[in-house]
Amino acid sequence: MPSETDPRAYAYLVGVGVTHSIAPPMHNYIAKALGHDWTFIAKECPTVEDAVELFRRSDFAGGVVTMPYKRTIMDHLDGLDEYAVRLGACNNVYRTSDGKLRGTNTDWRGIKGCLLGASAEGRGKPAVLIGAGGAARAAIFTLHDQLECQQIYLVNRDRDEVQVLLEEVKQVYGDGLEIVYVERVEQVAGLPSPYYIVGTVPDAEPSTPDEVEVHQIIGSFLSIPQEKGVLLDMCFKPRKTRILQAGQANGWKTMPCAPAIASMSLGRAWVHSLPEKLSQAAKAGFKGVEIFYEDLEYLAKEKGPVNDSTLLAAAQETRAICDHYGLEVIGMQPFLFYEGLTDRAQHREKIERLKLWFVIVKILGTDIIQIPSNFQSEGISGDLDLIVSDMIEVADMGLKEEPVVRFAYENLAWGTFISTWEDLWEVVRRVDRPNFGCCLDTFNIAGRVWADPASASGKTPDADAALAASIQNLVRTVDVNKVFYVQVVDAERMQQPLIEGHPFYVEGQPARMSWSRNARLFLYEQERGGYLPVVQVAEAFLKGLGFEGWVSMELFSRSMADPDPTVPETHAQRGIKAWSRLAEELDL
Give the number of C-alpha atoms closer than 13 A to the C-alpha of residue 121, restricted to the C-beta side.
9
CA distance 581 to 579: 6
Tell me, what amino acid is at 484? Answer: F
Strands 490-491, 520-521: pairing is antiparallel
Q: Is 70 a catalytic residue?
A: yes
328-342 burial, b for 16+ CB within 10 Å, e for fewer?
bbbbbbbbebbbbbe
**DSSP-derived secondary structure letter, 343:** -
- d(C-alpha 294, C-alpha 556), whole Å: 13
- 292 and 267 Cβ atoms separated by less than 8 Å: no
Assess contact for 311 and 347: CB atoms under 8 A.
Answer: no
494, 515 contact by CB (below 8 A): yes
3-state helix, strand, coil in the chain (%, to 5): 45, 20, 40
Residues 6+ apart with CB under 8 A from 511: 414, 452, 453, 454, 498, 499, 505
Neighbours of 527 (CB within 10 A): 7
Distance, in Å, from the CA atom of 542 to the CA atom of 580, rounded to the nearest integer, reads 14
Give the pairing of strands 196-199 and 406-410.
unpaired
On whether the CB atoms of residues 575 and 509 are closer than 8 A, the answer is: no
At what angle are helices 242-249 and 209-222 packed, to 10 degrees?
A: 30
DSSP string over 385-426: HHHHHHHHHHHHHHHTSSSPPEEEEE--TT-SS--SHHHHHH
Whether the bond into 403 is cis, omega within 30 of 0: yes
Buried b (16+ CB within 10 A) or exposed e, 201-212: bebeeeeeeeee
- Select from 518, 513, 526 the least CA-distant residue to 578: 526
The length of the chain in residues reads 588
Bridge-partner residues for 127, per DSSP?
152, 196
Asked whether the beta carbons of 61 and 11 are under 8 A apart, the reply is yes
CA 205 to chain CA centroid, nearest Å? 22
Which of 501, 532, 527 has the alpha carbon at shortest distance from 516? Answer: 532
User: What's the Cα-to-Cα distance from 326 to each of 21, 47, 329, 375, 447, rounded to whole Å?
Assistant: 6, 24, 10, 35, 33
Q: What residues contact 550, with CB distance under 8 A and at least 6 apart? A: 257, 258, 259, 260, 288, 330, 485, 486
Closest by Cα among 567, 553, 558 to 290 = 553
One of 43, 70, 125, 277 is an active-site residue; which one? 70
Could you list the active site residues? Answer: 70
